[in-house]
């Protein structure tokens, strides 16, 4: 029951922001994979955030004002369906166990929702999924009073409390351990999917039932494709292996990337690039502090990577020229950070509300990734020893009152540590 109090607290907080308005939040439908088979169901993140209720096609209404309350519309009990698909919670138990003031069967929504909203202002999420469940006709009477709920929920979700941080720590620890096991099993001639299998095995064995996103297990030149997910190449002696993989715990994501040599020994060129990205990553992490701007870590990482690539003769020109002409984007084409939470690319503003040309500042309880990278495709202008090197190093970082805490710190990233671990299950 303790965990449901946490969800009720969030609804109470939302109600206090809503004044006399009402918020309506809907869970998604199941998605069909192919005939009679569904993708594993996962609640829509905002719906999970305010309810913790695990069933699809459910509607929650939260009323602000003098008599705040929250109600739920869900599937009714059905003995026949339950024989096939397991227990349906039902409106009565839903309201009692999940701490709603009232619970109704979904079929009552078309009558009750128009009555409940009358001429109130309604806050809705702009997701297309919502309109597949809510009937737009319900809102015709007060269409002009429709407001966007996402701004309120995004601001709530971007600051994590201890309950959420605890889940994110567990998620990061399970993922860090999976990365270590993957390193131990890596050796030349194995296939990328063997390593992917080990990562999923470790997630499941520790009770994390979902990856937070499709794992990237990319050897050699595959590491230069940012969203490579085929994971079906044979790993070659001399390749690097880039693994970007994280699980979900309590629906909270971790997002970790590690890069290491398949044969356990960095070549000279691989070491140069790896050390450069690692220095940039560490310096970027040091910029994570209350009051610093969201883009401070990226600026720092970029500065170090630009200088390093100029020193190695991979980029030609002065730092200013490379920066202004964005020549670095050939090798470092993505940003260093995104918010992390219920969604791997979590909600939350990146730009200040009052000054859209300025990044937001960090506050205590923010969680973000720090993930600079460097990807070198074969090119006439680059010495051949660097071709096919793709390196990204990604950690999950919590903003604390006096600095930061790297939630994913258990995943090794120093060259010496990596060289010691790789392949030790195969020795």
Task: Please pick, from the candidates 164, 244, 295, 296, the single residue that binds ligand GLY as defined by CB under 6 A.
Answer: 244
- Name the residue among 389, 106, 393 with its Cα closest to residue 262: 389
Which residue lies nearer to ligand GLY by CB, 24 or 284? 284
Q: Is 213 in the site for ligand GLY (CB under 6 A)?
A: yes
* Cα(109)–Cα(307) distance, integer angstroms: 61
264 within 8 A of 422, measured Cβ to Cβ: yes
418 within 8 A of 183, measured Cβ to Cβ: yes
* Cα(274)–Cα(379) distance, integer angstroms: 19
The distance of closest approach from Cβ of residue 178 to ligand GLY in the complex, given in angstroms and rounded to an integer, is 14
Which residue lies nearer to Mn ion by CB, 103 or 223? 223
Contacted entry of ligand GLY, Mn ion, none for residue 343, CB cut-off 5 to 8 Å set by kind: none
Which residue lies nearer to ligand GLY by CB, 164 or 395? 395
Active-site residue flag, 132: no
The distance of closest approach from Cβ of residue 338 to ligand GLY in the complex, given in angstroms and rounded to an integer, is 6
Active-site residue flag, 380: no
Catalytic residue chosen out of the listed positions 338, 343, 396, 404: 338
Task: Please pick, from the candidates 224, 344, 370, 389, the single residue that binds ligand GLY as defined by CB under 6 A.
Answer: 344
Active-site residue flag, 371: yes
The distance of closest approach from Cβ of residue 172 to Mn ion in the complex, given in angstroms and rounded to an integer, is 12
Helix, strand, coil in percent for the chain, rounding step 5: 40, 20, 40
Contacted entry of Mn ion, ligand GLY, none for residue 213, CB cut-off 5 to 8 Å set by kind: ligand GLY
Catalytic residue chosen out of the listed positions 392, 395, 396, 404: 392
Which residue lies nearer to ligand GLY by CB, 55 or 255? 255
Active-site residue flag, 110: no
Q: Which of positions 393-422 make contact with ligand GLY (CB under 6 A)?
A: 394
Give contact residues for Mn ion (rule: CB under 5 A). Answer: 244, 255, 369, 394
Place of tokens 């490579």: 228
- Name the residue among 152, 52, 51 with its Cα closest to residue 60: 51
Query: How far is the CA of 388 from the CAs of 155, 212, 228, 276, 360, in angstroms?
Result: 41, 27, 14, 16, 36
The distance of closest approach from Cβ of residue 10 to ligand GLY in the complex, given in angstroms and rounded to an integer, is 26
H or E, element range at 8: helix 2-18
Lookup: tokens for 344: 């791997």
Active-site residue flag, 292: no
The distance of closest approach from Cβ of residue 320 to ligand GLY in the complex, given in angstroms and rounded to an integer, is 29
Catalytic residue chosen out of the listed positions 44, 239, 255, 295: 255
* Cα(101)–Cα(71) distance, integer angstroms: 6
Catalytic residue chosen out of the listed positions 36, 79, 320, 326: 36
Cβ neighbours of residue 394 under 8 Å, at least 6 residues apart? 244, 255, 256, 257, 258, 281, 369, 370, 371, 408
Place of tokens 């701007």: 293
H or E, element range at 117: helix 109-117
Interaction site with ligand GLY (CB under 6 A):
213, 244, 255, 338, 344, 371, 394
Active site residues per annotation: 36, 227, 244, 255, 334, 338, 345, 371, 375, 392, 394
């Amino acid at each position: 029951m303790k965990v449901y109090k946490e969800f009720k607290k969030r609804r109470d907080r939302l109600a206090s922001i809503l004044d006399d308005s009402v918020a309506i939040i809907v869970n998604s439908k199941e998605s069909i994979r192919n005939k009679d088979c569904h993708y594993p169901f996962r609640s829509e993140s905002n719906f999970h955030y305010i309810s913790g209720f695990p069933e699809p096609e459910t509607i929650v209404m939260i009323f602000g004002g003098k008599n705040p309350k929250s109600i739920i519309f869900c599937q009714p009990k059905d003995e026949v369906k339950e024989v096939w698909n397991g227990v349906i919670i039902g409106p009565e138990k839903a309201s009692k166990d999940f701490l709603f003031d009232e619970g109704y069967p979904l079929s009552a929504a078309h009558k009750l929702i128009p009555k409940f909203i009358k001429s109130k202002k309604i806050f809705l999420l702009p997701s297309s999924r919502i309109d597949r469940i809510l009937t737009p006709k319900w809102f015709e009477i007060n269409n002009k009073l429709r407001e966007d709920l996402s701004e309120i929920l995004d601001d709530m979700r971007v600051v994590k409390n201890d309950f959420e941080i605890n889940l994110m720590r567990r998620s990061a620890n399970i993922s860090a351990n999976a990365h270590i096991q993957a390193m131990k099993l890596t050796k030349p001639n194995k296939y990328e999917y063997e390593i992917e299998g080990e990562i999923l095995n470790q997630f499941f064995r520790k009770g994390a039932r979902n990856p937070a996103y499709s794992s990237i297990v990319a050897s050699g030149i595959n590491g230069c494709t940012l969203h490579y997910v085929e994971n079906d190449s044979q790993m070659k002696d001399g390749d690097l292996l880039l693994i970007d993989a994280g699980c979900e715990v309590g629906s909270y994501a971790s997002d970790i990337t590690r890069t290491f040599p398949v044969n356990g020994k960095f070549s000279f060129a691989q070491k140069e690039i790896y050390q450069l990205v690692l220095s940039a990553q560490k310096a970027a992490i040091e910029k994570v502090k209350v009051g610093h701007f969201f883009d401070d870590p990226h600026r720092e990482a970029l500065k170090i990577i630009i200088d390093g690539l100029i020193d190695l003769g991979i980029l030609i020109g002065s730092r200013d020229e490379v920066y202004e002409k964005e020549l670095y984007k050939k090798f470092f084409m993505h940003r260093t950070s995104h918010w992390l939470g219920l969604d791997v690319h979590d909600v939350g503003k990146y730009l200040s509300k009052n000054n859209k040309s300025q990044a937001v500042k960090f506050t205590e309880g923010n969680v973000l990734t720090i993930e600079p990278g460097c990807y070198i495709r074969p090119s006439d202008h680059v010495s051949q020893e660097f071709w096919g090197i793709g390196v990204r190093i990604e950690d999950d970082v919590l903003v604390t009152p006096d600095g930061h805490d790297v939630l994913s710190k258990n995943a090794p990233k120093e060259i010496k540590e990596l060289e010691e671990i790789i392949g030790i299950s195969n020795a």
